[in-house]
Amino acid sequence: MTIATPVSPLQTGQRYRISTVMGAEWIKMRSVRSTIWTVTAMTVITLGGAIVAGLTIPGQWHTFSANERATFDPTNTSLKGLLIGQLVIGVLGVMVMSAEYGTGTIRATLAAVPNRPLIVATKAAVFAMIAAVVGQVLSFGAFLLTQGLLSNPAPHASLSQPGVLRAVVGSGLLVPVLGVFALGLATIIRHTAGAITAFVGTLLVLPISLEALPASISHPILNCLPPEISQNMGSVVPTTGSGWTLSPWAGFGVLCLYAVVTLGIGAWLMVRRDA
């Protein structure tokens, strides 16, 4: 049988490497439609929100109170849509990992590369790179759209104003961090629906349910949850909240911890569990 023997002698490397495994993860990521669909959905939501804000606020300006006008933050306003966009990058982060389990591809993946922490790390790295590009494009895009549309009497912001560049770049940076956090949750939970529930629960449900507690307890916790951290990062005009808040970059550090810890637990579990 000619079938049995390879047509040409195979010239392969000696060992799988970080670069070859990252290459494989990149092929996986770009070869399914969910990637392009989620990025498209995120773009529509984020830029759509920015356009709506830029178009409607000037017309409503006369209805704003004096306090609302004084604390109006055009930078933060432009980045509001990105907060919903964060939920979408979470869905993509979850699916990047959970689809492997849902479809059984994980067995092919681990047969080719039995080093499981390497799989988790390269998957997270490739996804984070894509999410970082998406985050920066969308945060700058949203900022520029809104500022370009804001007209008198509403004021608009520019990147040269203090704190504005930090808010725009920082909000974009939250996208890969939250995405990797979601990917870590999916590595632990291994099911799409369960992992998305956990992610959305942390971003939306947990902060609301904490409101039921006395402020002395809920306030410090809320400060360390993603919504407050995102809010701080995207704001230039300080919010008039009571008590302490994390600085934007301290909050960013906390969020990185979320991502690193969930990913670490996920990798540890993957080594211990049967695939």
Partner 1 sequence: MIEINGVTKRYKDKTAVDDLSFEIKPGQVTGFLGPNGSGKSTTMRMIMGLDAPDSGSIRINGRGYRDIALPLSEVGALLEAKAIHPGRSAFNHLWFLARSNDIPRARVNEVLQLVGLEDVAKKRAGKFSLGMGQRLGIAAALLGDPSVLLFDEPINGLDPEGILWVRNLLKGLASGGRTVFVSSHLMSEMALTADHLVVIGRGRLISTGSVDDFVAKSSGQFVRARAPRSKDLHDLLVRHGGQVRQEPNGALAVTRLSASEVGELSGRAGIFLHELSPQAASLEEAFMEVTRDSVEYHGSVGPGPFVSASSASTSYPESRN
Least CB distance to partner 1 at residue 199 (A): 21
Does 7 bind partner 1 (CB under 8 A)? Our answer is yes
Q: Judged by CB, which is closer to partner 1: 124, or 178?
A: 124
Question: Quick one: which segment of 29-37, 66-74, 78-86, 144-152 binds partner 1 (CB under 8 A)?
Answer: 29-37
Least CB distance to partner 1 at residue 63 (A): 47
Q: Judged by CB, which is closer to partner 1: 32, or 84?
A: 32
* Among the listed residues 41, 51, 52, 110, the single contact to partner 1 using CB under 8 A: 110
- Footprint of partner 1 on 216-275 (CB under 8 A): 274-275
Does 18 bind partner 1 (CB under 8 A)? Our answer is no
* Among the listed residues 8, 63, 65, 67, the single contact to partner 1 using CB under 8 A: 8
Token pair for 118: 């390497």
Question: Quick one: which segment of 25-33, 158-166, 233-241, 262-270 binds partner 1 (CB under 8 A)?
Answer: 25-33
DSSP labels, 205-234: IHHHHHTTS-HHHHHHHHHTSHHHHHHHHH
Assign residue 235 a region (left: φ > 0; alpha: ψ between -120 and 50; beta: otherwise): beta
Least CB distance to partner 1 at residue 119 (A): 9
Does 214 bind partner 1 (CB under 8 A)? Our answer is no
Least CB distance to partner 1 at residue 96 (A): 11
Does 113 bind partner 1 (CB under 8 A)? Our answer is yes
Does 5 bind partner 1 (CB under 8 A)? Our answer is yes
Q: Judged by CB, which is closer to partner 1: 22, or 137?
A: 22
The site that binds partner 1 (CB under 8 A) totals a number of residues, namely 41
Q: Judged by CB, which is closer to partner 1: 70, or 112?
A: 112
For residue 164, the tally of other CB atoms under 10 A from its CB is 19
Q: Judged by CB, which is closer to partner 1: 22, or 265?
A: 22
Site residues, partner 1 (CB under 8 A)? 1, 3-8, 10-17, 20-21, 23-25, 27-28, 31-34, 99, 103-105, 107-115, 274-275
